[in-house]
Structure 1
Amino acid sequence: MDGEFENFKEQVRSTADIVEVISSYVPLKKRGQNFWGCCPFHGEKTPSFSVNPGKNMFYCFGCHEGGDIFKFIMKIENCGFMDAMKLLAGRYGIAVPEKQKTAAEIKREKQRERIYDTNATACRFYQACLLNTDYGKPALNYLAGRGIDRKIIDSFGIGYALASFSALLSNLGRRGYSPQELEAAGLAARGKSHMYDKFRNRVMIPIRDPKGHIVGFGGRVLDDSTPKYLNTAETEWFNKRRILFGMDVAYKPIRATKQAVIVEGYMDAISLHAAGIDNAVASMGTAFAQEQAKLLKRIADEVIFCYDSDSAGRRASVRAVSIAREAGLKVRIATVPDGKDPDEFVRRHGKEAFLQVLAQAKEGIDFQIDETILQGDTGNLAGKVDAVSNILPFLLECKSEIEAAEHIRRLAQRLTIDEGLIV
């Protein structure tokens, strides 16, 4: 298989015309031996993006991104190496070699595809209940009250689960889906004597993986009953660490602006999109993961975290800064005034006010330092020692000695201690 794979890779590399492929994404003009255009990976008005057909390479003199045709496709399509090769192979009609799969692999693949199909069908049913039935009117009114119109409903595939223990089971059962398949997808649960719909009388929000497959749902109540949110349990195909809610909708805006706004919950992200902040995604909780940072690094240069302003949200922001910086992202932290969450703030004050919150976002390491000092008592020597000890790991994460030195200088002034005592 290794030899076959290498032959396939070389066939794709030699067949694909790098100028033709890149021209489908970026307008190019020939100048000398190279072709030039504005870089798709960072904002610029003067072309500094060069394609050399002789070397089969591209390079940007502005952001220093460069590589071969595979690297270009991986970055611009937000995909891995194999997916980039398959995309190019499909473009040029090159057959993709398939490795021999075991019976267990074939079974698992079929199960995964069936789960995707089950979730997609359930999503269509939930949407029909929301948009085409009288039962869905209270949910439609609830969404309208949150500023969520039909365009946003369609973009995110939002629906409504009827207040019934068997509506989904019955409807999908007539379409050939077994109760066991709905249970495997997390859409049904098993009682003492029968199966029942897991989601009832809730606004239903599909959760998609980076490839657009629906891998789970979040359901929100229409009133103050509990639990407010009910989510699909994590499975082999639904792992929160590998998914950012709304990435399928926000992908192009993030790639265009090179910036992503990260919030905690999917309703926060949806409300921001409804207000016109279309580069927002949600980490679906306060635990931002390395896998999520790597997803964003493929298409963004900077992330702005805008978690809830409570203590849990602020602690999570401190952790998230280090994870995002390790992935090579610039990081800032936006704090919503008056302890409100992004959803509530943007609905009450509007887009422009929220953009001001983002504009005032603090540099990530400055936020980490400020939070660490606030959590301690730096009015005495022991408190200062503890603060420096806790801040030192953040300083060691600085990529530049100059950056670290500036933070040390400011920290020493703030704590009224000698700079030499910090390192």
Structure 2
Amino acid sequence: MGGRIKAEDVEAVKDRTSVEAVVREHVTLTRAGAGRLKGLCPFHDEKTPSFTIRPAVGRWHCFGCGEGGDVISFVQQVDHLTFTEAVERLAAAAGMELHYEEGGGPREPGMGRRARLVEAHRVAEEFYHEALLRSRDARIGRDFLRERGFDSAAATRFGVGYAPRGGEDLVRHLREKGFSEEEMTLGGLAGKGSRGLYDRFRGRLVWPIRDITGDTVGFGARRLYDDDRIAAKYLNTAETPIYKKTHLLYGLDLAKKAISTGRRAVVVEGYTDVMACHLAGVKSAVATCGTAFGADHVSTLRRILRDDAAGGARTVFTFDGDAAGQKAAMRAFELDQRWASQSYVAVAPDGMDPCELRQQRGDDAVRRLVDDAVPMFEFAVRTLLSQVDLDTAEGRVAGMKNVARIIAEIRDPTLRPEYTRTVAGWIGVDIEQMREVVAHAPKGLPPVGDVAPRQRRGDAEAGRQEEDEPSTLLPAPDLRDPTVLLGHLFLQVLVQFPRSIAPEDLYRVVEESFVAPAHRAVFVGTLTALVSGAADRPNEWIDAIIDASPAPVDSLVETLAMERIQARVDPETGEPDARYITDLLTRLWEAPLQARIADAASALRRVEHDDPARAHEIAVELQGLQLELTELRSRRE
């Protein structure tokens, strides 16, 4: 194994990698002023975008959860990689060769563990797909697809393959390609028995499951043979270092562009349903991978949909019309509060799934199914009402109680009266009676989950996780204090546009100008970083400030670097105009000057009766200070 990646190579990776391009793989971004882009944070649930990037300096920051950093830290966190693995992945994407300290070379073959596992899955996908197209034994798989309206072009488009029945075919192929037994078992491609390794999937049709970037990280396998020893119709990759089923959505790599552009996601129940939707023109379709749709899936889609309080986004769930489908719909409804916008449900006639609907009624029917979806609220209410007999008084009372909690939990209070009136009509009761039941309905829907604590920024070279040091952390600046706010606004400019302030003006600003200790630490760190010349290297600038600050102020520096400056700015660069900077400077210069004037006035009062000579000296000094203050203020006019 190689040693630590050389620091100059780490910087070169950052220089050659666009933080915007990497972030867009996970977050839909919109313009947020000059030089800034924003979107929904990938690291916590939020309804209003607070995740911001500044491509010019290669930084990102979330004002909601406080996370931030450079492109390497983003890849670390979003893909759960070590520092070294993140650098190696970005270097591979940029076509760079890395060099390692301590005399070591690149790790075999220049990739980390995750990259090796991903590569093994890529090779496995090719193997399975070739077997589907060429193998005589795979005819059963080809027939399965053909019967459902999928030809060889469709199989190739979605990477569908066939796992041979032999039991060791894939293992043998991966060995020939240089993969170890540990890599095969760790990645879930093989199991280990008393006679050695065996293929995890045998005699099954397989779909590659890819993450949002398009890397294949697992497989879903469909039973084809009646004598298959594993009775389950579908068998999925088990949890591995690269496969987390609660975070993955089948087809998302293909659907993300359509989801982002149209701001509509369609959630179906199976792999063939995803294929049918895409082929029918519904290119925003995805499916879960062997698990129920959950909170992590909501978070993933919301980031891409830009599902915020402003509205405009839509998620459509398709369910079978049977009892299982209704149960799945109600589980989805329990998550409805996690969406900022409204979600919808589409149920095909006769309970057909999208794949069956396309076979029997064509592509137009699939598109109409999605377009005619009804609000999730309406579907949930009708599902609950279907469980009672509305022809009886007892059934109507039970129906009111069942649906009252749903109405009470509608996010938009202006919609509740109309829905109350509508549901009263469905049940056949007086609207006042329905309104009374809704008013006293117990709260029942789950609240949005708390944000999980996250690790702090990794060490820039070694990738070590820093340990918290509560005893040395400075209190957060109280921006309600005007003098503290002044220092904060000035540091925004200094951190974001260090060359916009003339050195002779900057060096008139003193530490004492900053009331908050954390601001003082950032100011010292920024001056030190300026002297080192780091301002001429945008990708190093923020880290240089953090490293030079005399106390841990990482989060504050990230915040200052990413906040929008509330002033007239250059539409291209985002740099504030000269008058704004001059105003901040003179007000900062005033602060210590006013303190000196107050001290002098106090001293004059103490000695004016007892020491006339000393009083005269102080009075002259005080007059000079007041004149200086007047001149300063004139610069702001």
Shift in alpha-carbon separation, 1:273–1:50, aligned structure 2, 3 A: closer
Name the counterpart of 2:436: 420
Does 1:400 pair with 2:412?
Answer: yes
Name the counterpart of 1:44: none
- Secondary structure at 1:241 match in 2: coil
Name the counterpart of 1:6: none
Describe the superposition over 1:120-154 as per-residue Cα deviations: whole angstroms up to 9, x where unpaired.
21111112222344444443343233222344333
Whether the 8 Å CA contact 1:259–1:279 is kept in 2: the answer is yes
Name the counterpart of 2:345: 333
Shift in alpha-carbon separation, 1:57–1:190, aligned structure 2, 3 A: closer
Name the counterpart of 1:261: 266
Tell me the distance in 1 between the aligned counterparts of 2:252 and 2:402: 34
What one-letter code is carried by the residue in structure 2 that aligns with 1:219? A
Name the counterpart of 1:201: 203
Name the counterpart of 2:382: 370
Name the counterpart of 1:241: 246
| Residue number among 315, 321, 327 corresponding to 2:327 in the alignment | 315
- Secondary structure at 2:221 match in 1: strand
Name the counterpart of 2:131: 129
Tell me the distance in 2 between the aligned counterparts of 1:376 and 1:286: 30
Tell me the distance in 1 between the aligned counterparts of 2:396 and 2:378: 17
- Secondary structure at 2:213 match in 1: coil
Tell me the distance in 2 between the aligned counterparts of 1:333 and 1:371: 12
Name the counterpart of 1:345: 357
Tell me the distance in 1 between the aligned counterparts of 2:381 and 2:52: 42
Whether the 8 Å CA contact 2:408–2:438 is kept in 1: the answer is no
What is the CA-CA distance between 1:71 and the residue it aligns to? 8.6
Describe the superposition over 1:281-331 as per-residue Cα deviations: whole angstroms up to 9, x where unpaired.
112357211111111112221111102222111111122134144221321
Describe the superposition over 1:44-82 as per-residue Cα deviations: whole angstroms up to 9, x where unpaired.
xxxxx87642xx45799xxx987785299999xxxx997
- Secondary structure at 2:246 match in 1: helix
What one-letter code is carried by the residue in structure 1 that aligns with 2:173? N
| Residue number among 52, 57, 71 corresponding to 1:86 in the alignment | 71
Whether the 8 Å CA contact 2:236–2:289 is kept in 1: the answer is no
Whether the 8 Å CA contact 2:267–2:287 is kept in 1: the answer is yes
Describe the superposition over 1:190-212 as per-residue Cα deviations: whole angstroms up to 9, x where unpaired.
33433321212222111112232
What one-letter code is carried by the residue in structure 2 that aligns with 1:412? A
Name the counterpart of 1:230: 235
Describe the superposition over 1:246-299 as per-residue Cα deviations: whole angstroms up to 9, x where unpaired.
000111111121111111111211222233321111123572111111111122
What is the CA-CA distance between 1:228 and the residue it aligns to? 2.7
Stretches of structure 2 that go unaligned for 5 or more consecutive residues are 1-13, 40-46, 76-81, 87-106, 306-312, 440-637
Larger Rg: 2
Name the counterpart of 1:7: none
Whether the 8 Å CA contact 2:38–2:52 is kept in 1: the answer is no
TM-score (normalised: structure 1): 0.74
Name the counterpart of 2:157: 155
Q: Identity across aligned pairs (percent)?
A: 29
Does 1:183 pair with 2:185?
Answer: yes
For the aligned residue pairs, the C-alpha RMSD in angstroms reads 3.9
Does 1:360 pair with 2:372?
Answer: yes
Give runs of aligned pairs for residues 6-25 of structure 1, distance below 5 A: none
Name the counterpart of 1:388: 400
What is the CA-CA distance between 1:371 and the residue it aligns to? 0.6
- Higher RCO, 1 vs 2 (CA within 8 Å, ≥6 residues apart): 2
Tell me the distance in 1 between the aligned counterparts of 2:59 and 2:394: 50
Whether the 8 Å CA contact 1:286–1:316 is kept in 2: the answer is no
What one-letter code is carried by the residue in structure 1 that aligns with 2:399? A
What one-letter code is carried by the residue in structure 2 that aligns with 1:86? V
Stretches of structure 1 that go unaligned for 5 or more consecutive residues are 1-11, 26-39, 42-48, 91-96
Whether the 8 Å CA contact 2:322–2:351 is kept in 1: the answer is yes
Higher mean displacement: 366-375 or 189-198: 189-198
Shift in alpha-carbon separation, 1:209–1:66, aligned structure 2, 3 A: closer
Whether the 8 Å CA contact 1:255–1:299 is kept in 2: the answer is yes
What is the CA-CA distance between 1:178 and the residue it aligns to? 2.7
- Secondary structure at 1:375 match in 2: coil
Runs (4+) off by over 6 Å? 64-68, 71-75, 80-84, 87-90
Tell me the distance in 1 between the aligned counterparts of 2:394 and 2:74: 63
Higher mean displacement: 250-259 or 176-185: 176-185
What one-letter code is carried by the residue in structure 1 that aligns with 2:207? I
Shift in alpha-carbon separation, 1:57–1:218, aligned structure 2, 3 A: closer
